[in-house]
Amino acid sequence: MVVIRTCPPVWSHELASFIAGMPKAELHVHLEGSLRPGTLLDLDRRNGGRFTGLDEQWLAERFRFRDFRHFADLYSTCTDVFRGPEDFARAVTELAADLATQGVVYVEATCSAITHHRDRGIPFDEVVDGLWAGAERALRDSGVVVRFVLDHVRDLSVEDCLRTAEWCVLGRGRGVVALGIGGYEPGRPASLFAEAVRWATARGVPFVPHAGEAVGADGVRDALAFDPPRLGHGFRAADDPSVVDDLLDRGVVLELCPTSNLRTGVVADLAEHPVRRLLARGVPVVLGTDDPLLFGSTVLGEYQLAATDLGFSVRDLVAAARESLRSALVEPAVRDALVAAHDRYAADVATATPDDS
């Protein structure tokens, strides 16, 4: 048995190995923002895009964005390279393979199907066929279970959100598990799309929006009106104790992405990240990468930041990994098996800290 005694934790080789082997889920990752750099350039070349003759070093320089709006513009670049089902399948398969090396056993990848349809005319059936083919390939090749969140982009219309909601219902048999909303938050609250959200949830599709990232606690309060099981980011809830109370009462899980928060400038310094206050109140959180291509983030890197910069104890890291599996929107039998695998792993390792003894 390996015994890790550290409070606060020191990111040692022993702790890194323990976290790497621990079964966990990635619940906050955008498929388009998770492409391998080489894949982005390859798809662009094959599809007659703008990057012919350029290399990965150039790409890394280009993606040094300045602010959230600049980030959104670069994200659009990532979506532009998709043209057909095989492109989506490849992205899913490669994402699962990359995550499998970090102990990830389940992924909910967010895909902006409405953007692919509006901007490039890709039919929904082609998008979801590609996603599901990739999920089946990922399970076979990497052993990772993959499901999908179809998200509406806040800049688009209510009608577009209704179409995305319809696609979520139609896609349930091919891996779609939730409706999301992402994009630039100020002035575009979740309630603006209430008709579509309520239509989807009435038909059994959960709603997992981004909220409380670029705006304050009011963004979280607005999203909570739709009873989401999880919120993307949501850390601005810490600005209002009554909103934190609401999170706790409802059992809502927050998907925390530390590197993303720092790179987009929604937090200036991880040492002052509001998650410290949320942890103190007992709000459940999970860790995600958001857009690995744009941020250079990894799942293990986010766990390391949580330990070294955000005040997570070893016990907190284990709890976050377990919560990521427990709050997965997958079939109950699959979810229960994944949680059991985590528990077996954690039982073999004593994570003792002074306040544990």
Strand partners, 232: 210, 255
- Structural domain harbouring 227: 2-356
> In this model, does residue 357 exceed pLDDT 80?
no
- CA nearest to 255, candidates 196, 205, 329: 329
Q: Could you report the per-residue pLDDT of 136-156, keeping only the tens digit for each?
A: 999 999 999 999 999 999 999
| CATH code for the domain in which residue 15 is found | 3.20.20.140
**pLDDT of amino acid 264:** 84
Alpha helices by DSSP H, listed for 101-239, are 113-120, 124-142, 158-170, 194-202, 217-224
What pLDDT does 353 receive?
38
Give the up-direction half-sphere exposure of residue 2: CA atoms within 13 A in the CB hemisphere: 14
CB 81, CB 49: distance < 8 Å? yes
Instruction: Please check whether residue 105 is in contact with residue 341, taking contact to mean a CB–CB distance below 8 angstroms.
Output: yes
Q: Which has the higher per-residue pLDDT, 171 or 67? A: 171
**CA geometry: angle at 194 spanning 71 and 79, to 5°?**
30
Q: How far apart are CA 26 and CA 48, in angstroms?
A: 32
50-108 residue pLDDT tens: 665 556 665 666 666 656 666 666 667 778 889 999 999 999 999 999 999 999 999 99
More confident: 170 or 53: 170
DSSP state, residue 268: S
Give how many domains the chain has, as a whole number: 1
Give residue-wise pLDDT tens across range 201-242: 999 999 999 999 888 999 999 999 999 999 999 999 999 999
Closest Cα to residue 326, out of 99, 21, 24? 24
3-state secondary structure of 28: strand
| Angstrom distance (rounded) from CA 93 to CA 107 | 11
Candidates 26, 32, 108, 213; catalytic one: 213
Q: Phi and psi dihedrals of 61, rounded to 5?
A: -65, -40
Q: CB–CB of 83/47 below 8 Å?
A: yes
- Residue 47 pLDDT level (bands cut at 50, 70, 90): confident
* Residue linked to tokens 């209704």: 162
pLDDT at residue 168 greater than cutoff 90? yes
Q: Is pLDDT of 354 > 60?
A: no
Q: 260-281: per-residue pLDDT in tens?
A: 998 888 888 998 899 999 999 9
Question: 286 and 255 in contact (C-beta within 8 Å)?
Answer: yes
Classify the C-alpha dihedral 68-72-77-83 as positive or negative: positive
Residue 130, pLDDT score: 98
DSSP state of 207: B
Q: Residues 61, 51: contact at Cβ < 8 Å?
A: no
Residue 6 has pLDDT above 50, yes or no: no
Residue 286: pLDDT band (50, 70, 90) is very high
Residue 14 bears catalytic tag: no
Q: How many alpha carbons fall within 13 Å on the CB side of residue 274?
A: 20
